[in-house]
Amino acid sequence: TKASNGIVQQVQASGGGGINPSALHNEGTQIMAATYDPISATSSLIFLINVYGNENTNLADRITYTFYDGTTNGFIGMAYQDATNHGNGNQWNQTSFALEYTPPNANSRVYRLRGACNHGTFESLDTTTYIQRSRYGANIKNSITIFEVEA
């Protein structure tokens, strides 16, 4: 049953595969994507995003995460984090952020999360000693949780 003026649908996508691209830092790289089929054309979507990232040279000071409506390539929002030296050889960090978006219609859409850094190569999971997915019982995952909220 559909609740009045509340959450009408929730979907979560998660991925544990490592990313160690050959793309340059100014190109960024896709971390993951989630497909979503809205129930209503007037609902808003709330995205809860959790992502692990680092850069491979110990020289960057910023990591940027951008989030797009992959169907139209429209920018939805972003987050960034400092990649300062925490005493380890790589600048790995975990970031969580939330975004709200009202799609233009109720068509199925693909939402894409990308990562980049200002120096070196952006990496996520399975690429450094302490952020490897194999640690902690392979439970470390990047995730996108989508809530559809009735207008």
- Tokens representing 100 are 């709200």
Strand order of the β-sheet with 74-82 is 29-36, 109-117, 62-69, 74-82
SS3 37: coil
Residue 92 has pLDDT above 60, yes or no: yes
Give every CB contact of residue 72 below 8 A, 6+ residues apart in sequence. none
Backbone angles phi, psi at 57, to 5 degrees: -115, -10
Predicted TM-score (pTM) of this structure: 0.76
The C-alpha atoms of residue 34 and residue 71 are separated, in whole angstroms, by: 11
Q: Report which of residues 121 and 12 the model is more confident about.
A: 121
Sign of CA dihedral 142, 85, 88, 123: positive
The C-alpha atoms of residue 136 and residue 31 are separated, in whole angstroms, by: 21
- Residues paired with 145 in a beta bridge: 12, 48
Residue 23 burial (10 A CB sphere; 0-12, 13-18, 19+): middle
What does the pLDDT look like over 21-63, one tens digit per residue? 433 333 578 888 889 999 888 899 999 999 888 776 666 567 8
pLDDT band at residue 74 under the 50/70/90 scheme: confident
